[in-house]
Amino acid sequence: MKILLVEDEKELALSLARILMQEGYDTIVAHDGNEGLELALTSVYHLFILDWMLPQKTGLEICQCLREKKITTPVLFLTAKDTLDDRVMGLDVGADDYLVKPFELRELLARVRALLRRSSNIENQPQDRIKVADLEVEITNQLAYRHGRMIKLSEKEVKLLEFFSLHSNQLVTQEQIFDYLWSEEETPSSNVVAAIVRLLRRKIETENEPILIHTIYGKGYWFGTMNQQ
């Protein structure tokens, strides 16, 4: 599980990151709002832990931006703000939980576990139909529809679209796609991700249709409409 911690108190951030990593979480740390938002938008995380008051951009603004971009990753606020109005404001912009400073580490870890379980349960719920932008996919039938066109898909292409739908409007790497599509026992060639993405593009994007799969050279892919950035 990968966690992004955005906290401007460096000693506290270091301490929390150390504890989270001891618990087995891959923890990335940022110390200001701009860096935090950039990291949040350029990788896939299972949980965001955001301080409310941050330099350059507040945790509230980060959360609001993530939700506007349809990123549904759980958000836990850490803050000294403890009024009812503050809590309502945080929840209204899309936060999932709220922990007031100072707090007990046991409570933080319990909240983290609860949010990660909730996130995992949502992602693992079986879906028969997914929709991203103007593309609809029927999982069981291995069919997609776009602008009235019916598109036949392979099993791997459907699974790739599932992955993209979970991480729409986020940067994903070839390694993340590879890990999602193939098991450890499978050993496809090194260029297999680029090949399946290329084949999928040919099927779902005709000449006059908006591009959905964008190549971010040297980094990976972005699925969605780029004007949502």
Q: Name residue, tokens 């001891």.
A: 22
pLDDT at 121: 53
pLDDT at 42: 80
> How many residues are recorded in the chain?
229
- My answer on whether 153 and 212 are in the same domain is yes
| pLDDT under 50: residue ranges of the chain | 125-126, 228-229
- My answer on whether 103 and 136 are in the same domain is no
CB-based contact 5:20 (threshold 8 Å)? yes
Which residue among 64, 99, 124 closes a domain? 124
Percent of all residues in the chain with a pLDDT value above 90, rounded to a whole number:
38
Q: Give the Cβ contact number of residue 186 at 10 Å.
A: 9
Q: Is 57 helix (H, G, I), strand (E, B) or coil?
A: coil
Q: Which of 67, 51, 47, 59 is nearest to 113 (CA)?
A: 47
Which residue among 91, 124, 157 closes a domain? 124
Q: Is the backbone of residue 94 left (phi > 0), alpha (psi -120 to 50) or beta? A: left
- My answer on whether 145 and 59 are in the same domain is no
Please report, for the domain that includes residue 25, its CATH number: 3.40.50.2300
- My answer on whether 159 and 87 are in the same domain is no
Instruction: For residue 64, give both structure tokens.
Output: 């609001």
Tens-digit pLDDT profile for residues 117-145: 876 655 554 457 787 778 888 888 889 99
> Residue 166's domain spans which residues?
129-228
Please report, for the domain that includes residue 187, its CATH number: 1.10.10.10
CA atoms within 13 A on the CB side of 129: 3
